[in-house]
Amino acid sequence: MHYIAILIACLSIILQFIAALWSARLMRLSGRGIAWALISAAIALMTMRRAVALWGMLKSPTAAYLDLSETIGFFISLLLCLGVFRLGSYFRHSSTMEGSREGWKRLFGRLFERADEGKLLIDRGRIVDCNDKAAHLLGYTERADILGQRPDDISPQRQPDGQFSSEKAEAMMARALAKGNARFEWVHKSIDGTPVPMEVVLTKIEIEGNTLLHTSWRDLSETKRSELALRESLQTSEEFIRNVPSGILLFHYVPATGSFALLDGNHEAERITGVSIAAWRGKDITAIFPDMVQRGLDAEYREVMLTGRAHTREDLAYKNRYLQMASRVHAFRLPGGRLAVTYDDIVELKRSEEALHALETQHRLLFETIPQGILLEDAGGRIVNVNPAAEQILGLSAAQLQGVPAMDPRSNPLRPDGAPFPRSEFPTVVALRTGVPVRDVVMSITNPLLGAHRRVIVGAVPLFRPGEEHPHQAYATINDITDVTFVRQENRRLREQLQEQSRSPDIGAVSSALKEMAASLPVELHSIRAVVDGLLLFTSVNSEELHVQSIDPATLVQLIIRDLHLPDSAQAVEWTVDPLTLIETDPIMLKRVFRILIENAVKFSRTRPHPEIRVGCSGDGATRVYIVRDNGVGFDASRAGLLFGAFQRFHANQGFEGAGINLAIAHRTSRRLGGWLWAESTPERGATFYVYLPGT
């Protein structure tokens, strides 16, 4: 037991020594040097006392007393040592925490300064710190220019939502202090007064016992510009769709079912398709257009969505003599699984194409049947097209004339006096060089087919493209007047001879007797009287004197229709008189031609249930073609060459009266006016008579 007491005493001395060392260390950790110095001195004294007691115990031991004393001392030393150790741990932890706080302060400072966003600290409503980024966002060079200001001091008076900046700033800061943070959009103003939109985040923080608001600024200028551009783009797209002259329908495609649901469209689409956007929005396309599947449009639209290739087709919806609906449909894919279908109303285009085709057919027919030779030449004076009349006049085929000058050496052109005609004076050459029409140039040319010279009148008109000053083509007209010249000479000779003979009592008596006989024929012999009157008029047409004046043919036609004595079977004629081109000609002769053609149309259409007669016109300038069309019985076009001969009757046995002389008179009268007359027809489908007359 004695030795155990000695061991316990030694352990007590060791523990007290350790406690003294830790207490000395606590002097440095705690910062309270005097207190811990006194504690260390007390422990040292206790250790010295314990050492003296141990020395005495070794020299004169009293085991029972010393064992109890040493045991109590040991536990006291142990508790003292543990207490000092605990205090040391506490102070070491405190020291570590203090170092950690300093580290976090330094880290926060670096993040605050180096952040890409503007950073500020607000204390009691005023800015107490900020980084350089925040200053630069508002155009300040020094951050000190911002410090001390309130947020509303560097903001417009009102925010975009209409609130005063001062009131809204107070409200946002109060919310952040109450809830810990607040996020909102704000408009500051730069040093030059320019608005700067920002996203502001306020965060409540504690620094050294003070409650501050950590503020982050994110510049929204680019975002706002992008949003504005996007809004303008969307608005532009909406305005474009709403006001574009084409109809537009937008559909949403569902790949799983292959269906199309209507999303939107414009008013033009409603007009063209007859679909109400508001009533059918969200409905499937096959419900909107029930015949889509039958016409194969649904399969075409699915192919557009799968391949991305646009598809166009012309859709003729409805057509009759009163109503026509047609549109060009163009379908293409849009992002987001959408299909756009545009509708262009092409009714007028179709009508124009049909009218153009009819006009081209008419012009081609006129070009091919007109007795006047026509040559079309390019800018180099070489023939690019020729009509049959020109082939006959020149005695060369179209293949022989193609690509050669209009008056090549084979034609051997001569002046009226027999001198060679210079090529530089050819009408087409002059027209292409000057751009001015050339008219009525008389010359003689050799016809290789006939082997003789023919006397012709040549004219030329230059053709210009829009915006060009020089003609790119010219067309020449050739009138063969060889036979006309001969006939005129013979007529002149015969007229002189007849005038001499008319002075004879016998000839004058015969003519007077013929007229008296025609006037005295009874009604029963009216047809014979009509034949005699027709013969007299037919023989006198060429000798009638012309009295040219400006005439409105439409007025003339209305007068003829008003003065017609129509039988009961022709009272229901449906008349159509188009506006007719004014013309300068002999009014009596023109009225004669129209009267004969109109009476002829009435006679051969009156047996129809609904007789229709139309008087129209085509051409302008120097070319006028008047048209008289009926829906009568018509005639065989293969016999059209006999139509204008005297006493040629195609319907003599079908109950149509007449002597067969009137069309011959109309034909001769039109030739007397400088034009000609021709006709087209199909049996039982009516007839059309064309009257060509020159402009003056």
What CATH number did the domain enclosing 122 receive?
A: 3.30.450.20
- How far apart are the C-alpha atoms of 383 and 475, rounded to whole Å? 9
**552/673 same-domain check:** yes
**Window from 138-142, 243-247, 304-308, 569-573 with minimum mean pLDDT:** 569-573
pLDDT at 512 over 80: no
**249/291 same-domain check:** yes
CA nearest 181: which of 208, 212, 155, 154?
212
Residue 234 resides in a domain? no
Provide the pLDDT for residue 143. 85
* One-character DSSP codes across 277-341: HHHHTTSBHHHHSTTHHHHTHHHHHHHHHHH---EEEEEEEEE-SS-EEEEEEEEEEETTTEEEE
Q: Which helix (H) or strand (E) holds 64?
A: helix 63-114
Q: Which residue has the higher pLDDT, 120 or 32?
A: 120
CB-CB neighbours of 157 under 10 Å: 9
**Window from 106-110, 320-324, 507-511, 640-644 with minimum mean pLDDT:** 320-324
Provide the pLDDT for residue 82. 61
Domain that holds residue 573: 544-694
**131/41 same-domain check:** no
* One-character DSSP codes across 467-533: T-SS-SEEEEEEEE-HHHHHHHHHHHHHHHHHHHHHTSHHHHHHHHHHHHHHHH--GGGHHHHHHHH
Q: Indicate the residue among 300, 317, 345 that finishes a domain.
A: 345
Residue 236 resides in a domain? no
The residue type found at 37 is A
* One-character DSSP codes across 582-639: -EEE-HHHHHHHHHHHHHHHHHHHTTSSS-EEEEEEE--TTEEEEEEEE-S----GGG
**637/587 same-domain check:** yes
Q: Which residue has the higher pLDDT, 654 or 206?
A: 206
Residue 590 resides in a domain? yes
**203/271 same-domain check:** no
Strand order in the sheet with 126-130: 126-130, 118-123, 210-219, 195-207, 181-189
**14/134 same-domain check:** no
Q: 569-581, pLDDT tens digit by residue? A: 556 788 999 988 8
Provide the pLDDT for residue 343. 86
**565/688 same-domain check:** yes
- How far apart are the C-alpha atoms of 394 and 411, rounded to whole Å? 7
Provide the pLDDT for residue 369. 81
Mean pLDDT for the stretch of residues 586-594: 92
Q: pLDDT grade, residue 524 (50/70/90)? A: very low
**216/120 same-domain check:** yes
Mean pLDDT for the stretch of residues 14-24: 60
- How far apart are the C-alpha atoms of 34 and 26, rounded to whole Å? 11
Q: CB of 341 within 8 A of CB of 264?
A: no
**40/64 same-domain check:** yes
**573/639 same-domain check:** yes
pLDDT at 338 over 60: yes
Q: 233-280, pLDDT tens digit by residue? A: 777 777 777 777 788 899 999 998 889 999 988 888 888 888 888 888
Residue 534 resides in a domain? no
Q: Which residue has the higher pLDDT, 63 or 271?
A: 271
Domain count, the chain: 5
Provide the pLDDT for residue 642. 67
Mean pLDDT for the stretch of residues 511-526: 50
Q: Which residues pair with 321 in a beta bridge?
A: none
Strand order in the sheet with 612-618: 574-577, 612-618, 623-630, 687-694, 676-681
**194/54 same-domain check:** no
- Percent of the chain predicted with pLDDT > 70: 70
**Window from 64-78, 159-173, 453-467, 594-608 with minimum mean pLDDT:** 64-78
Residue 194 resides in a domain? yes
Q: Indicate the residue among 225, 259, 294 that finishes a domain.
A: 225
Q: Which helix (H) or strand (E) holds 110?
A: helix 63-114
**451/334 same-domain check:** no
Provide the pLDDT for residue 61. 52
Residue 215 resides in a domain? yes
CB-CB neighbours of 212 under 10 Å: 19
Q: Which residues contact 660 (CB under 8 A, 6 or more apart)?
A: 646, 647, 648, 649, 652
